[in-house]
A and B are shown apart, each in its own frame.
Chain A
Amino acid sequence: MPRDAEIRLRDRLSKLGGLDLLRGARLSGELERLQRQLDRIEAEPTDEEIWRSVELARHQDRPYTLDYVNRIFAGFFELHGDRGRGDDAALVTGLGRLEGRTVAVIGHQKGRDIKERTARNFGMAYPEGYRKAMRVMELADRHGFPLVTLVDTPGAYPGVAAEQHGQGGAIARSQAAMARLGVPTVACIIGEGGSGGAVAIALADRVLMQENAIYSVISPEGCAAILWRDAGEARKAAAAFKPDAAHCLELGVIDGIVPEPEGGAHEDHDEAARLLAAALADAVEELDDIPREELRAARRVKFRSMGVLA
């Protein structure tokens, strides 16, 4: 049975194939990308492949937000603090140049070694992080800068202080802030897209996922602990809720898959950054000429229609 996503991709593929290749390399790159997405959809990932995605998404050498930021956004200037309570190092924000124009960047940041991991709280943000993100979203809107978000978190931090500072409300309001923006917004899941902490910065016009990233409502371990009453059944849980990019594309949750270097993004940070930069630039360009109101309306319609009913 042909699935909607497949039909959409085939449709786009045939359209692109029929065009004169005026834009040269970029368009043929797009063709290749779509063909690759189609191939992935046709071969539904097996349970082993899903688990491999989980492992690669959490690989200790996988590039993190700052690895990409330093390679992709020229003249990156980091912005600190939520202007109220503190600066959350688990979520970095700033301004940089993408293909000659200024964009605002928001991304979760894990740490590379134990010291940095502790400082960055393993990429698990407090409400302060989401408030900083909201402040930068507003800044982007004010100045007409497109917004790029890079999602890589096991989830928002589950702690006493985080609750007291209003974790749930901060995540809700961060999404609401994104729903209001009148600038192009592109989100990419670059590692773990863990639940509310991830979607807080992913209510975007275009949501992309790297090939080996995962996006899920709960961690495989958490799901296994609740439904199987045994966190050791994480593989079974992952196979059941299918957090891999191909399934997310099929379910209409994401708009495209960003290829990674052979073997995974950790094998070649430079190449992974180049592929990500191209995808981000394409997405921003595609959205560029759409008027503010239309952009916002289309974004809302897209999320309004998420879900499957009987």
Chain B
Amino acid sequence: MAESSRIDVSIEHKHAPPEPPAKKHPNTCPGCGSHYRDDELEASLRVCPHCGHHFPVKARERILQLVDAGSFEEEAADLRSADPLDFFDLRAYKERLAEAEVATGLGDAMVIGSATIEALPCELAVMDFSFMGGSMGSVTGEKFARACESAVEAGVPLVSVSASGGARMQEGILALMQLPKTVVAVEELHEARCALISVMTHPTTGGLLASFASLGDVLLAEPGALMSFAGPRVVAQTTREKLPDDFGLAESNLRFGHVDRIIPRPELRSTLAQLLRLFGSD
């Protein structure tokens, strides 16, 4: 056939295609390009000393940053996800779970427990984005609900720190059901007159924003955190609109009245203490 004998000569690639940008080292600042040793970043609470960019913080490190040394007592650490759907995409959900546990040392994407901050007692529920994107499945929802119940029992406020892409698809409809589950847990918390202080860090999107994270008595955000129900890519694809530069960011949410304050990380501990005092934690 004529077509098969034709020789394609591309004139579009006279030069070699540009190398894909090398993946940046996690300790290289995406804001200014500065590079840090891990201990330097840890000492600066993982905020870039040069430009103020907030790097992600894992759950256990976050807890160390916030609470009085030695005061944290973890709860429900033994909870593990089941695989009710026998979910398999390109890989089995069970495999992904096992791998995430080995990589992070966590049982799931949330750590809960009691602690004191500047000697004020509170309950903590802290998410970890490095465990499957912080996605919320049955265990995350259960841990949050238990944190609410512990707070009620102790009569103390609950501080949640979210970092999550949303519901965990591998648990299907049961992942969606963690939205109403955490919502009713917050309702019970509120009825017992315990406060929820919700700290939203990068990212707090999808099902998190559409459930407990938005229901705090006080909503705090970290600078630059993405906080949108739909992610920027989905919005751009659906609407074919050009998105504003600050689409879904904490700063935009503050401007539109969806959060109370943006708190730089070095001030978070003292801010939480101030709120705990106001809500009468002591």
Contacts and interface: CB of A to CB of B under 8 A. Distances in A.
Contact of A241 (B173, B228, B256): B173
A179 interface: yes
Contacts, number: 197
A253 B180 contact: no
B130 interface: no
Given A158-B229, A172-B183, A195 B211 contact: no
A304 B182 CA distance: 7
Most B CB within 10 A of own CB, among A217, A226, A241: A217
B177 A307 contact: yes
A279 interface: no
A160 interface: yes
B139 A309 contact: yes
B184 A217 contact: no
A308 B209 contact: no
B142 A307 contact: yes
Interface in B200-258: 205-215, 227-230, 234-235, 238-239, 241, 243-244, 247-248, 252, 256-258
A310 B80 contact: yes
Contact of B180 (A166, A218, A241, A303): A303
A96 interface: no
A159 interface: yes
Contacts of A160: 235, 239, 241, 243-244, 247
A162 interface: yes
Contacts of B169: 217-218, 223, 226-227, 241
B248 A309 contact: no
Given A160-B244, A227-B169, A300 B214 contact: no
Contacts of B141: 306-307
Contacts of A309: 79-82, 138-139, 142
A215 interface: yes
B258 A217 contact: no
Contacts of B171: 217, 307-308
Contacts of A196: 176, 179, 206-207, 210, 229
Contacts of A251: 84, 172-174
A172 B82 contact: no
A93 interface: no
Contacts of B228: 163, 167-168
A163 B173 contact: no
A187 B48 CA distance: 49
16 contacts: A158-B229, A158-B239, A163-B230, A163-B247, A164-B252, A168-B209, A195-B176, A202-B180, A215-B173, A215-B176, A217-B172, A236-B89, A248-B173, A300-B184, A308-B171, A308-B174
Closest 4 CB pairs of A and B: A168-B209, A158-B230, A307-B138, A241-B172
